[in-house]
Amino acid sequence: MAHTEQKITLAFIINGASFAVETNTNPPLKEAVARALAESGNTGRPASEWQVRDESGNLLDVNRKISDFGFLNGTKLYLNLAVGAGGAKHRP
């Protein structure tokens, strides 16, 4: 069975700006997230502190393969810092 590589362009919306990332559909979503953060200059926080949501506001699992989501070319994904990311730890 032949292994086919499919490319897709995803539009990551970060701080209100759109960043197009062309990616293969086989790797996990977190690889495209890391590229979008690097291209947008948002490198002050690790990718693990960011959340990805679709246009309906659903939180996406960045460890799943891009192909698992069935995204169409040009799909918009919203990257936001996770609530409490980088904040002080709560002390009892």
Is 2 a domain residue? no
Burial class (CB in 10 A: 0-12, 13-18, 19+), 61: exposed
| Local confidence pLDDT in tens for the 92 residues of the chain | 445 569 999 999 999 999 999 999 999 999 999 999 999 999 899 999 999 999 999 999 999 999 999 999 999 999 999 976 554 444 34
Q: Is residue 33 assigned to a domain?
A: yes
- H-run or E-run covering 29: helix 29-40
From the number of C-beta atoms within 10 Å of its C-beta (0-12, 13-18, 19+), residue 32 rates as: buried
DSSP E strand boundaries for 1-92: 7-14, 17-24, 50-53, 76-81
- Is residue 74 one of the residues assigned to a domain? yes
Range of the domain at 13: 7-81
CATH number for the domain that contains residue 53: 3.10.20.90
What is the pTM (predicted TM-score) of this model? Answer: 0.84
Q: How many domains does the chain have?
A: 1
Q: Is residue 28 part of a domain?
A: yes
In a domain, 12, yes or no: yes
